[in-house]
Structure 1
Amino acid sequence: MSDTAENTAFDVLLKLSQNLLSDPENPKFREFKSTNATIQRSLINPKGAIEYAIEMGFRATVEDFQPKYVWHSTPENLVALRVGGEIIKEHVELAAAKEERSTKSKQTIAEEKAAAVKKALLAFEDDRKARKQLDARTKHYPPMSLMRPASQKPPQSPVFRTQGPGEALAGPVPRQGFNQESEDTILNEEKPIVDKEE
Structure 2
Amino acid sequence: MTKALAVLLKLAENLLSDPENPKFREFKSTNTTIQRALIDPKGAIEFAIEMGFRATVQEFQPKYVWHSSPENLTALRVGREVLKEHIELAASKEERAGLSQRLAKTEKSAAVQNALLAFEDDRKRRKALDERLKRDGYPTTPSKVPTAVIPPASPEFSIQGEGQTLGAPSARRGFVHEDEDRATTEY
What TM-score do the two structures reach when normalised by structure 2?
A: 0.78
1:123 to 95, 118, 121: 118
Structure 1 residue 80: deviation in Å?
0.2
User: Which sections of structure 2, spanning at least 5 residues, go unmatched?
Assistant: 160-164, 169-184
Pair 1:15-2:31 in alignment: no
Cα 1:84–1:156 shift into 2, 3 Å: same
User: Structure 2: which amino acid aligns with 1:37?
Assistant: T
How far apart are 1:155 and its partner, in Å?
3.8
In structure 2, what is the Cα distance between the partners aligned to 1:53 and 1:37?
17
**What pairs with 1:130-149 in structure 2 (closer than 5 Å)?**
130-144=125-139, 147=140
Rg larger for: 1
**Structure of greater relative contact order (alpha carbons < 8 Å, 6+ residues apart):** 2
Shift of 1:143: 2.8
Would you say 1:177 and 2:167 are equivalent positions? Answer: yes
Deviation at 1:43, TM superposition (A): 0.8
Q: For residue 92 of structure 1, what is the aligned residue in structure 2? A: 87
The structural deviation recorded for 1:46 is 1.0
In 1, Cα distance between the equivalents of 2:167 and 2:100?
A: 86
- Residue identity opposite 2:41 in structure 1: P
Residues in 1 aligned to 2:151 and 2:12: alpha-carbon distance in whole angstroms: 101
The alignment partner of 1:68 has SS state of strand
Structure 2 residue 107 is matched with structure 1 residue 112: yes
Distance in 2 between residues matched to 1:157 and 1:17, nearest whole Å: 103
State the alpha-carbon separation in 1 of the partners of residues 92 and 154 from structure 2.
Answer: 85
1:80 aligned residue: 75
Q: In structure 2, do the counterparts of structure 1 residues 176 and 102 end up closer, same or farther at CA, with 3 Å as the change threshold? A: closer
Counterpart-to-counterpart distance in 1, 2:57 and 2:69: 20
CA spacing shift, 1:76–1:167, aligned 2, 3 Å: same
Matched residues in 2 for 1:176 and 1:102: separation?
83
- Give the residue type in structure 1 aligned to 2:52: G
Counterpart CA distance in 1 for 2:42 and 2:154 is 96
1:52-71 mapped onto 2 (5 Å cutoff): 52-71=47-66
Structure 1-normalised TM-score?
0.73
| Letter in structure 1 aligned against 2:102 | Q
Cα offset for 1:141? 2.5
Matched, 1:50 2:45: yes
Cα 1:35/1:133, change in 2 over 3 Å: same
